[in-house]
Structure 1
Amino acid sequence: MNQTFMIDITSDYKGCVFLPNHINLNTALYKLNFGTVTIDAKFKQQPSSKQAITISEDLAKDIFFPYVKHPLHIFIHDETLTIGPLVGIFTSGFTSFPMRPIGDRSIIFSKLLSVSTSVGALPFVFGEKHINWDSGTIQGLFYLQNGWKTIEVPFPNVIYDRLPNRKSERQKQQKEVKSRLEQEYLIPWYNPGFFNKMDIYDRLFQVEEISEYLPETQPFSSYSAIENMLAKYGHIYIKPMNGSLGLGIHQIIYNREDSAYYCRYRDLKAGMNKLKKFSSLEGLMKHIFAGKNLERMIIQQGIYLLKKEKCSIDFRLHTNKDSTGQWIVTACAAKVAGNGSVTTHVKSGGTIQSLDEIFEDPIEREEIANKLQTASLKLSEAIENNMEGLVAEIGFDLGIDQSGKVWFFEANSKPGRSIFTHPSMKKFDFLTRKLSLAYSIYLTEQAMKSPEALFR
Structure 2
Amino acid sequence: MRKRYTIEIVPNSQLVVYCPQELLKTHGINKIAFGSKAIEADFRIHPKENNSIVISKGIQDLLHFPDFSIKLHVFVEHQVLTIGPLVGIFTAGFTPFPHRPIGDRTNFFSKLLSVKTNVGAVPFVFGEQHIGWDTGTVNGYFYHDNQWQRVEVPFPHVIYDRLPNRKSERNPKLIKVKETLQKDYLIPWYNPGFFSKLDIYERLQQDKSAAVYLPETHPFTSFSMMEEMLSKYGHIYLKPINGSLGLGVHQILYDKMQDEYYCRYQDQKGVNRLRKFSSLEGLFQTVFANRNLEKMLVQQGINLLRQDQRPIDFRIHTNKDDEGEWHVTALAAKLAGRGSVTTHARSGGEVKTLTELFQQDEEQLYTKKLVHAALLLSNSLSNNMEGIIAEIGFDLGIDKHGDVWLFEANSKPGRSIFSHPELKDFDKLTCKLSLAFAVFLTEQTILHPEDVIKW
Q: TM-score range by the shorter chain?
A: over 0.9
Amino acid at match of 2:434: S
Residue identity over aligned pairs, in percent, reads 56
1:7-86 counterparts in 2 under 5 A? 7-12=7-12, 14-86=14-86
Partner of 1:201: 201
Q: How far 1:2 sits from its partner (Å)?
A: 1.5
Amino acid at match of 1:147: Q
- The answer to whether the 8 A contact 2:2-2:75 is kept is yes
Measured in 1, the distance between the counterparts of 2:262 and 2:378 equals 35
Q: How far 1:26 sits from its partner (Å)?
A: 3.2
Measured in 2, the distance between the counterparts of 1:284 and 1:35 equals 58
1:39-188 counterparts in 2 under 5 A? 39-188=39-188
1:191-230 counterparts in 2 under 5 A? 191-230=191-230
> What number of residue pairs does the alignment pair up?
454
Amino acid at match of 2:150: T
SS at match of 2:333: strand
- The answer to whether the 8 A contact 2:12-2:58 is kept is no
Q: How far 1:27 sits from its partner (Å)?
A: 1.7
Q: How far 1:268 sits from its partner (Å)?
A: 3.1
Measured in 2, the distance between the counterparts of 1:147 and 1:20 equals 33
Measured in 2, the distance between the counterparts of 1:51 and 1:207 equals 47
SS at match of 1:404: coil
Pick one of 402, 405, 408 that aligns with 1:404: 402
1:332-343 counterparts in 2 under 5 A? 332-343=331-342
Pick one of 414, 418, 421 that aligns with 2:419: 421
Measured in 1, the distance between the counterparts of 2:139 and 2:335 equals 44
Measured in 2, the distance between the counterparts of 1:333 and 1:317 equals 7
Measured in 1, the distance between the counterparts of 2:172 and 2:241 equals 22
Amino acid at match of 1:33: A
SS at match of 2:212: helix
Partner of 1:299: 298
Q: 1:305 to 1:34 in 2, by over 3 A?
A: same
- The answer to whether the 8 A contact 2:313-2:396 is kept is yes
**What is the TM-score when the length of structure 1 is the normalising length?**
0.98
Deviations 1:41-84 (A, max 9, x none): 11112112343211011011111101002211111111111110
Amino acid at match of 1:334: A
- The answer to whether the 8 A contact 2:333-2:354 is kept is yes
Measured in 2, the distance between the counterparts of 1:36 and 1:367 equals 48
Q: How far 1:13 sits from its partner (Å)?
A: 6.1
Deviations 1:115-166 (A, max 9, x none): 1111100000001010111110010110111511111000000000000000
Q: Unmatched 5+ residue regions in structure 2?
A: none
Partner of 1:380: 378
SS at match of 1:6: strand
Q: CA RMSD in A?
A: 1.0
Measured in 2, the distance between the counterparts of 1:26 and 1:208 equals 48
SS at match of 1:195: coil
Q: How far 1:353 sits from its partner (Å)?
A: 0.4
Measured in 1, the distance between the counterparts of 2:288 and 2:330 equals 36
Measured in 2, the distance between the counterparts of 1:283 and 1:329 equals 44
Measured in 1, the distance between the counterparts of 2:24 and 2:452 equals 30
More displaced 10-residue stretch of structure 1: 392-401 or 19-28: 19-28
Partner of 2:310: 311
Q: How far 1:22 sits from its partner (Å)?
A: 4.3
Q: Unmatched 5+ residue regions in structure 1?
A: none
Measured in 2, the distance between the counterparts of 1:365 and 1:42 equals 59
Measured in 1, the distance between the counterparts of 2:28 and 2:369 equals 50
Amino acid at match of 1:103: G
Measured in 2, the distance between the counterparts of 1:387 and 1:22 equals 41
Measured in 2, the distance between the counterparts of 1:449 and 1:22 equals 19
Partner of 2:273: 274
Q: How far 1:104 sits from its partner (Å)?
A: 1.4
Q: How far 1:25 sits from its partner (Å)?
A: 2.6
Measured in 2, the distance between the counterparts of 1:211 and 1:95 equals 43
SS at match of 1:427: helix
Partner of 2:234: 234
Amino acid at match of 1:219: P
Structure 1 outlier segments of 4+, above 3 Å: 21-24
Measured in 1, the distance between the counterparts of 2:263 and 2:450 equals 51
Measured in 1, the distance between the counterparts of 2:451 and 2:209 equals 25
